[in-house]
Amino acid sequence: MPVGLTAPAPGSLHAVPGIALGIAQAGVRKPNRDDVLLITLPPTATVAGVFTQNRYCAAPVQLCRKFLAEARPRALVINTGNANAGTGDDGLHRAQQVCAAVAAAVGCAPEEVLPFSTGVIMEPLPVDRIVAGIPAAQANLAEDNWLRAAGAIMTTDIVAKGKTATCVIEGQTVTVTGIAKGSGMIHPNMATMLGYVALDARVPQPVLQALLNTVTAESFNRVTVDGDTSTNDSFLLIANGRAEAPLIDAEDSAAFRSLHAAVAEVAVFLAQALARDGEGATKFVTIEVEQGRDRAECVRIAKSIAHSPLVKTALFASDPNLGRILAAIGYAGVDDLDVRTVGLWIGAVEVVRAGGRLPSYVEADAAAVMKQEDITLRITLGRGSARDRVWTCDFSYDYVKINAEYRS
* pLDDT value at residue 230: 75
Do 322 and 193 share a structural domain?
A: no
Do 191 and 117 share a structural domain?
A: yes
pLDDT tens digits for range 286-328:
999 999 999 999 999 999 999 999 999 999 999 998 899 999 9
**pLDDT band per the 50, 70, 90 thresholds, residue 192:** very low
**Residue 390 placed within a domain:** yes
Q: Active-site residue 192, yes or no?
A: yes
Surface-to-core class of residue 281, CB atoms within 10 Å of its CB (0-12 exposed, 13-18 middle, 19+ buried): buried
**Residue 357 placed within a domain:** yes
**pLDDT band per the 50, 70, 90 thresholds, residue 190:** very low
Do residues 320 and 363 lie in contact, with contact meaning Cβ atoms separated by under 8 Å? yes
Q: What is the CATH number of the domain that holds 257?
A: 3.60.70.12
**Residue 86 placed within a domain:** yes
The last residue of one of the domains, among 276, 298, 328, is 276
Tally helices (H) and strands (E) across the chain: 11, 15
Do 306 and 254 share a structural domain?
A: no
pLDDT tens digits for range 212-233:
999 999 998 898 866 566 788 8
Residue 270: strand, helix, or coil: helix
Do residues 288 and 302 lie in contact, with contact meaning Cβ atoms separated by under 8 Å? yes
Query: Is residue 202 pLDDT above 60, yes or no?
Result: yes
Do 292 and 216 share a structural domain?
A: no
* pLDDT value at residue 408: 55
Mean pLDDT on 204-217: 97
**Residue 13 placed within a domain:** no
**Residue 1 placed within a domain:** no
Do 347 and 262 share a structural domain?
A: no
**pLDDT band per the 50, 70, 90 thresholds, residue 17:** very high
**DSSP letters spanning 222-258:** GB-SSSPPPSS-EEEEEE---TTSPB---TTSHHHHH
105: left (phi over 0), alpha (psi -120 to 50) or beta: alpha
Do residues 251 and 207 lie in contact, with contact meaning Cβ atoms separated by under 8 Å? yes
**Residue 300 placed within a domain:** yes
Query: Is residue 187 pLDDT above 60, yes or no?
Result: no
How do 356-357 and 374-380 pair as beta strands? unpaired
Do 314 and 291 share a structural domain?
A: yes
Do 251 and 299 share a structural domain?
A: no
Do 32 and 146 share a structural domain?
A: yes
Domain hosting 271: range is: 20-276
Percent of all residues in the chain with a pLDDT value above 90, rounded to a whole number: 83
170: left (phi over 0), alpha (psi -120 to 50) or beta: left
What is the edge-to-edge ordering of all strands in the sheet holding 343-346?
Answer: 356-357, 349-353, 343-346, 374-380, 284-292, 386-393
Angle in degrees, CA 307, 221, 329, rounded to 5: 35
* pLDDT value at residue 407: 61
Mean pLDDT on 83-110: 97
**Residue 399 placed within a domain:** yes
Q: How many CB atoms lie within 10 A of CB 60?
A: 32
Mean pLDDT on 361-385: 96
Do 319 and 260 share a structural domain?
A: no
Query: Is residue 185 pLDDT above 80, yes or no?
Result: no
Mean residue pLDDT of the chain comes to 92
The last residue of one of the domains, among 241, 276, 311, is 276
* pLDDT value at residue 63: 97
Q: State the catalytic residue, choosing from 40, 192, 231, 282.
A: 192
Angle in degrees, CA 73, 135, 236, rounded to 5: 30
pLDDT tens digits for range 115-153:
999 988 899 999 999 999 999 999 999 999 999 999 999
* pLDDT value at residue 398: 76
**Residue 152 placed within a domain:** yes
* pLDDT value at residue 405: 65
405: left (phi over 0), alpha (psi -120 to 50) or beta: alpha
Do 173 and 291 share a structural domain?
A: no
Residue 152: strand, helix, or coil: helix
**pLDDT band per the 50, 70, 90 thresholds, residue 164:** very high
Bridge partners, residue 113, by sequence: 75
Query: Is residue 253 pLDDT above 50, yes or no?
Result: yes
pTM of the shown model: 0.92
The last residue of one of the domains, among 276, 293, 328, is 276
Do 224 and 320 share a structural domain?
A: no
Do 270 and 303 share a structural domain?
A: no
Domain count across the chain: 2
The sign of the dihedral angle between the CA atoms of 374, 375, 380, 381 is negative
Do residues 201 and 239 lie in contact, with contact meaning Cβ atoms separated by under 8 Å? yes
Query: Is residue 108 pLDDT above 90, yes or no?
Result: yes
Do residues 85 and 121 lie in contact, with contact meaning Cβ atoms separated by under 8 Å? yes
